A and B are shown apart, each in its own frame.
Chain A
């Protein structure tokens, strides 16, 4: 799939979990790009954490909400930085909104390049910047119904 270099606003948000079939389709779309030699993928999955202390029950799900307009604008900036730093062929980022159960996928970062090191570094960078810069909020719904607000550290 060709990537425009103008970095238009695109909506990274998907309602509900990211389906493994969607990931497979995304990979398949790149078979026409014969300049690609490496794909690097990061997948975030909701973990049944226990925060301990006052709320020892494990996380049953995370309900994600976002300031979508700002998040999508921030993603354009991150995308531009990634393309400026690494010769990647393309970059795709998707994040869930809504209730995502433990074991389901909520985050998908996919970069492709001629050689593996470039795609690997770009994905690690995008992953870190998304966590730091995108206004996405997570309500951890615990087994038993209590909730706590997740924050990235």
Chain B
């Protein structure tokens, strides 16, 4: 599945999109933290289909995933 990256996280990863397979959000986070150096030390939220998720959510591969660093709008 495609994972959209924004702001500081996109900068660290050097791209705004990664393709990763994972069965749930916990496995996804682990895979992302291996792929993006320094991610585990950052504050970020995980959005599944444009909603912030907490806890472990199962993924079927068709979701729109995004990694969101702290917000700065307004």
Which residues of A are at the interface with B, using a C-beta cutoff of 8 A? Answer: 44, 62, 64-67, 69-71, 73, 95, 107, 127, 130-139, 149-152
Contacts and interface: CB of A to CB of B under 8 A. Distances in A.
12 contacts: A64-B73, A67-B6, A67-B47, A67-B66, A134-B71, A134-B73, A136-B72, A137-B7, A137-B8, A138-B7, A138-B72, A149-B70
A151 B74 contact: no
Contacts, number: 71
Interface residues of B, number: 15
A131 B71 contact: yes
Interface of B: 4, 6-8, 47, 50-51, 66, 68-74
B66 to A, nearest CB: 6
A151 B72 CA distance: 5
Contact of A152 (B6, B7, B71): B71
Contacts of B72: 62, 64, 136-138, 149-152
